[in-house]
């Protein structure tokens, strides 16, 4: 296995995965670096992994979720520089954060196959064929899992059209 040939090209996919979860560019970049570092440290054992891309995406996803949980635990300081920037109102921020948390909660309720298929399709933009390969299943199963997952999310989101998105 060649690290530069097999792992480094995944950095954009890892970034998009981390960025979708953290919603913060700097955090996503840090997560990509941490993921690449962990993969580098394990480079001697990576040849035993069947699907390196799926393994790397899962590692980045787990790091991003960990970082997101830590970010929620931090206290936000209110200083002068924050007031100089155009930021959404507190109400808008709370509504947006609540919606995001609700979607993450719903995603967490999905069966693993549906959650993985949705993330690979809607977040990573993978084709059904690529997803079937990563998940080691048929394309028909992938389509069914995505359909069921989307229906569950639509049914349970309950955001009104009048609310800001």
**Which pLDDT does position 71 carry in this prediction?**
63
List the domain range (segments joined by +) for residue 121.
91-159
**Residues 71 and 4 occupy one common structural domain:** yes
**Residues 71 and 95 occupy one common structural domain:** no
CATH of residue 70's domain is 1.10.1740
**Residues 127 and 57 occupy one common structural domain:** no
Distance, in Å, from the CA atom of 19 to the CA atom of 12, rounded to the nearest integer, reads 10
Q: Regarding predicted confidence, which is higher, 1 or 21?
A: 21
pLDDT band of residue 160 (cuts 50, 70, 90) is low
**Residues 68 and 112 occupy one common structural domain:** no
Do the domain assignments include residue 111? Answer: yes
Distance, in Å, from the CA atom of 36 to the CA atom of 12, rounded to the nearest integer, reads 12
Domain count of the chain?
2
**Which pLDDT does position 76 carry in this prediction?**
47
Do the domain assignments include residue 25? Answer: yes
**Which pLDDT does position 87 carry in this prediction?**
57
Strand stretches in the chain, DSSP E? none
Distance, in Å, from the CA atom of 20 to the CA atom of 31, rounded to the nearest integer, reads 12
Do the domain assignments include residue 86? Answer: no
Sorted by sequence, the CB contacts under 8 Å of residue 99 that are 6+ apart come out as 159, 163, 165
Count CB-CB contacts under 10 A for residue 139.
14
Percent of the chain with pLDDT over 70: 84
Do the domain assignments include residue 49? Answer: yes
pLDDT tens, position by position, 10-58? 999 999 888 888 878 898 999 999 999 999 888 888 888 888 888 898 8
């Amino acid at each position: 296995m060649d690290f530069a040939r097999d792992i480094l090209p995944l950095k954009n996919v890892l970034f998009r995965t981390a960025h979708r979860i953290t919603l913060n560019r700097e955090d996503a970049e840090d997560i990509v670096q941490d993921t690449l570092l962990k993969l580098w440290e394990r480079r001697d054992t990576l040849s035993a992994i069947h699907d390196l891309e799926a393994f790397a995406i899962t590692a980045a996803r787990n790091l991003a979720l960990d970082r997101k949980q830590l970010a929620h635990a931090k206290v936000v300081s209110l200083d002068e520089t924050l007031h100089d920037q155009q930021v959404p109102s507190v109400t808008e921020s709370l509504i947006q954060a609540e919606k995001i948390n609700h979607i993450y909660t719903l995603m967490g309720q999905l069966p693993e196959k549906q959650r993985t298929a949705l993330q690979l399709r809607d977040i990573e933009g993978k084709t059904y064929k690529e997803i079937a390969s990563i998940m080691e299943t048929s394309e028909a199963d992938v389509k069914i899992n995505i359909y069921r997952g989307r229906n569950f999310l639509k049914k349970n989101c309950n955001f009104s059209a009048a609310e800001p998105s």
